[in-house]
């Protein structure tokens, strides 16, 4: 047992015994089991409160969804992006931006006409054939 707990048990025992003697002298006729239970519960609550006063405040780290600290594999994110693009009622720019980022990693100047055509114009829905052609072309560049 640690020194801290030995001190706590000693203090509780001395206080419990002193309280028992006072109760006997005043003729309260205390019951031994009930008195022991009262002392244990009282000092447990006191120590619980004292121990929580010394505790450091909790610190929370909030992560933004889609940040690099995510636990979802990148393949799953790409699958979600592709399925969202194909199922959306209006074309969005997320898939095109992902494909452009991939293209710029292979061809920073976007000198290839196919990749340059991807970057031009407003967002539009890409068909599966176009997506396949672009990805196959990017694999050939690397």
Using one digit for the tens of pLDDT, what is the confidence trace for 85-102?
Answer: 888 888 778 888 888 888
CA distances from 115 to 22, 28, 103, 123, 142 (A): 92, 93, 7, 14, 14
Q: Are residues 78 and 137 in the same domain?
A: yes
Q: Is the pLDDT of residue 135 over 80?
A: yes
Q: Are residues 82 and 33 in the same domain?
A: no
Say which residue the tokens 């419990």 belong to. Answer: 16
Residue 64 lies in a domain: no
Specify whether the backbone of 58 is left (phi greater than 0), alpha (psi in -120 to 50) or beta. beta
Contact 56, 88 (CB under 8 A): no
The mean pLDDT value for 12-33 works out to 95
Q: Is the pLDDT of residue 51 over 70?
A: yes
Q: Are residues 29 and 85 in the same domain?
A: no
Residue 126 lies in a domain: yes
* Arithmetic mean of pLDDT over the chain: 84
Residue 62 lies in a domain: no
Total tally of structural domains belonging to the chain: 2
Which residues, in sequence order, are CB contacts of 51 under 8 Å at separation 6+? none
**Domain hosting residue 36, numbered range:** 3-53
Q: What is the DSSP letter of 21?
A: H
Q: Are residues 130 and 85 in the same domain?
A: yes
| Better pLDDT: 119 or 10 | 10
Half-sphere exposure of 85 (CA within 13 A, CB side): 22
Q: Are residues 49 and 78 in the same domain?
A: no
């Amino acid at each position: 047992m640690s020194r801290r707990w030995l001190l706590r048990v000693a203090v509780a025992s001395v206080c419990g015994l002193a309280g028992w003697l006072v109760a006997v002298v005043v003729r309260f006729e205390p019951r031994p089991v009930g008195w022991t239970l009262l002392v244990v519960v009282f000092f447990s609550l006191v120590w619980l409160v004292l121990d929580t006063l010394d505790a450091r405040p909790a610190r929370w780290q909030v992560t933004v969804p889609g940040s690099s600290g995510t636990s979802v594999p990148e393949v799953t994110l790409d699958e979600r992006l592709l399925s969202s693009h194909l199922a959306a009622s209006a074309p969005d720019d997320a898939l095109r931006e992902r494909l452009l980022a991939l293209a710029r990693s292979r061809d920073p100047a976007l000198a290839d006409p196919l990749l340059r055509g991807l970057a031009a114009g407003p967002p539009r829905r890409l068909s599966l054939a176009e997506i396949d052609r672009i990805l196959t072309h990017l694999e050939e560049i690397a």
